[in-house]
Amino acid sequence: MTNSIQQDLAEIAAIDAAQLLDTGSDVYGLQPGGFVPKPYGRIVAEQLALAQRLFGSDVDLAAGSVIRRICELTSAEHARTYQTLSGINDDQTVPTARGQGLDRLGEELGLPRPFLSASGDVTLTLVGALPGGRDSLTIPVGARMLTKGGHHVATTKSVSLSANQPSQTVTVMAFFPGPEHNLSIADSNQIITTWNALDDALGAVESVMTIREDKTLEEVVEISHSVDLRGGDLRWSDDRYRQLLLRAPRSVWSREAIEIAVSLVPGVRKTKTIDEFGGLDIEKSIFGNFNFGERVFGTERDIASPYMFTILVAPTASAIWQGPDGLAAQIAEAVEDLRPIGIFPEIREAAQIGVGIECELVVDGVPLPSGSRATVNGSAPARALKARLIERVQSYIDALPFGEAVSPAKISWLLMNEPGLADVRDLRLTRYPVSAGEIDFDQAQQSGAVQRLACGESLRTGKDQIAIFADDPNDLVIV
């Protein structure tokens, strides 16, 4: 008797008579923890045991027999039915729903699955010599551009142009999501041609360049758009959409409702609603230091003063805060129908603390050219490796909430997860008192403007502050 036949007989013997009469089989089907589909192997074993019970113990159930083949065919359909029932059950709740099931739950909450932003590439080229006797010019991450048709796009990373490298290709992303912001170069109104004059970050670039009044940024840095921007017709992934729905409030007026509405405004990176009079505020220093029956949580409000709550907002690098079409105005419009009558929001921009990283990288497994350190770090494989590392750090810092410290240990762990990287040495954080978009990497910083933290020291932020990454690849040195 072969091992296969012995295993089949053992599985059949494990199916007792009581289980043959119970289609639920105890641990399968709808359980307190969810729906548990019955495995195909278990269904086959039950079918064979039932055949043996009906036709006698001497029935031929060997591989290839007619009865066994019938049992296997019917078991396959039963297994598909279990999987279908499991999917139907999972689609009833937000934590387990997927695809169209998650879409239906989101529509019931009034939050249809949002669109992604279209992306593509443009080429930036220096035209002539740089004004002010400068050697190079840095276009910051989030620099806003425009098309003739009024479409807004922004750079996804900072790029440095110099006499040695006067032209670079940079990825740009549509500021507003949706398929209507897919840009086709076949349409002249959708070709990116100019810089946005309302972008404060670009104003800072012009000021440090000391451009004369008769010379604009377009005359210094030429934009060449030759690749379509695509992807605006795609939707958020299930995981990202699920997190949004799990945070969604189930009531009309709540802090969560305001935060969800504000977080969906294009240009908002993080937001927090502070409502001291509306509920318990655990950030008050007095919390936890008194008996509940003796004192109240906060002082009484002056009834002659307006009742306001605060919306703390950390904008993305490409957001423009001021102006009639600025981010502050868009947020006010988004919460207009959600706030109670007579209660007004104070929309406040969070203080953004620029953070950079300095470290030495030991590479093993990435083909790098031989030569001096400058030659190695300037090579195409080295630049590609640094771009991947910067993307890892960017994702970590972008996910940090207000007041969360930037941990060099976590950054080191993220970097070490990159294939081809053998070691990270002397990792230090650099604190910039201004936002990353205003940092001029090409000029020496003023005394006291930059703080280089000790090796291994975390960068701490206040409760109304948030870290923003200064993505300078020159601070990552391959040794």
235-273 pLDDT tens trace: 999 999 999 998 887 666 677 888 889 999 999 999 998
Q: 330-349 in b/e burial notation, b at 16+ Cβ within 10 A?
A: bbbebbeebbeeeeebebeb
Query: Which pLDDT tens digit goes with each residue over 174-228?
Result: 999 999 999 999 999 999 999 998 888 887 776 655 554 456 777 788 899 999 9
| β partners of residue 121 | 171
Among candidate residues 172, 185, 175, 170, the one with its CA nearest the CA of residue 151 = 175
The pLDDT assigned to 449 comes to 65
Backbone angles phi, psi at 247, to 5 degrees: -85, -10
Both tokens of residue 150? Answer: 């009024």
The pLDDT assigned to 442 comes to 45
Both tokens of residue 233? Answer: 């017709």
Query: Which is more confidently placed, 53 or 235?
Result: 235
Backbone angles phi, psi at 83, to 5 degrees: -65, -40
Query: Which pLDDT tens digit goes with each residue over 126-146?
Result: 887 776 667 788 888 889 999
Strand ranges inside 103-243, DSSP E? 119-126, 136-139, 144-147, 152-155, 159-162, 167-174, 192-195, 221-224
The pLDDT assigned to 440 comes to 45
Q: Which residue do the tokens 């002082």 mark?
A: 299
Query: Which pLDDT tens digit goes with each residue over 286-308?
Result: 555 555 555 555 555 555 555 67
How many residues does the structure list for the chain? 479
What is the average pLDDT value for the chain, to the nearest integer?
82
Chain region(s) in the chain for CATH 3.30.300: 249-349
For residues 41-58, average pLDDT: 84
In whole angstroms, what is the distance from residue 113 CA to residue 129 CA? Answer: 48
* CB-based contact 244:111 (threshold 8 Å): yes
Residue 456 clears pLDDT 60, i.e. is over it: yes
Strand ranges inside 205-287, DSSP E? 221-224, 268-274
Backbone angles phi, psi at 451, to 5 degrees: -120, 115
Provide the CA 424 distance to its chain's centre, in angstroms: 25
Q: 372-406 in b/e burial notation, b at 16+ Cβ within 10 A?
A: eeeebbebeebeebbeebbeebbebbbebebbbeb
For residues 64-81, average pLDDT: 89
For residues 79-105, average pLDDT: 88
CATH for 249-349 is 3.30.300
| β partners of residue 358 | 428
* Lowest pLDDT segment from 28-32, 97-101, 165-169, 218-222: 28-32
For residues 351-374, average pLDDT: 88
In whole angstroms, what is the distance from residue 57 CA to residue 113 CA? Answer: 57
